[in-house]
Amino acid sequence: MSQPLVKFTDLGTLGYQEAWDLQTERHAAIVARKRENRERKKEDKLPVLQTHELLFVEHPPVYTLGKSGSIDHLLLNEAQLENQGFTFHKINRGGDITYHGPGQLVAYPLFDLDEFFNDVHQYVRFLEEVVIRTCADFGIYAERDEGFTGVWLPGNEATSQPRRKICAIGVHLSRWTTLHGFAFNVQPDLDHFGNIVPCGIADDNRAVTSLSQELGRSVTLEEVKPLVKAHFRDIFDFDWA
């Protein structure tokens, strides 16, 4: 069986609603090709070529609430959101509330998992692995945390340093085709996480961090993007369209 083909698009900076609309449109196209191929198989016809998508984007400041989240985890009211330049969206991914903004690499894989593997947990573990390997490229040890989706840096009891989340993950699947993805903190304004209970985790022993904070220098998205892109290909084992 040939490897899946993935089309890569760097959207640059794009508003959350515009990116969500684009995701929805391209997701629908993947599902439509999938349906067409099922019909063609019944008629003993050759399939049309399926192309998956990987989108990179940087959003203006926005808070998003997943379908299993609580609005109480947003600590600003509507007027405060507007005055401070934030937008807010309730969306259909899993997970609770999170922040997206400048200096954060957001990746949206639109993959028909029928052409990869039919295992949601493995899919999330693979997304985590992309970020874990990218952190390792910068000399940072990152890991999974059982019971907490995402990518974490270990704490240090001796120095009272908490466990720190460097990447949030929230996904949605429809007809085994993925939506949403992960938000990797490269150099966002970490103060913006103070307006929410990040991912619904209220724990003094857990915090949010970024590559730049951990390294003590400014890390740009342009440094990180090619590494993330390469790890996606290696881990998910596909070819670029």
Catalytic residue annotation: 199
* Residues near 42 by beta carbon (within 8 Å), at least 6 away in sequence: none
Query: Across-strand partners of 156?
Result: 161
The three-class DSSP label of residue 146 is coil
State the Cα–Cα distance between residues 150 and 225, nearest whole angstrom: 18
**E strands present in 59-162:** 62-65, 87-90, 97-100, 104-110, 143-145, 148-153
How far apart are alpha carbons 174 and 189 in whole angstroms? 33
Give the separation between CA 221 and CA 225, rounded to whole angstroms.
6
196 DSSP assignment = B
Half-sphere exposure of residue 8, counting CA atoms within 13 Å on the CB side? 13
Q: What are the percentages of helix, strand and coil residues in the chain, rounded to 5?
A: 35, 30, 30
Give residues with Cβ within 8 angstroms of 34, minimum separation 6.
50, 112, 114, 175, 177
Q: What is the DSSP letter of 112?
A: B
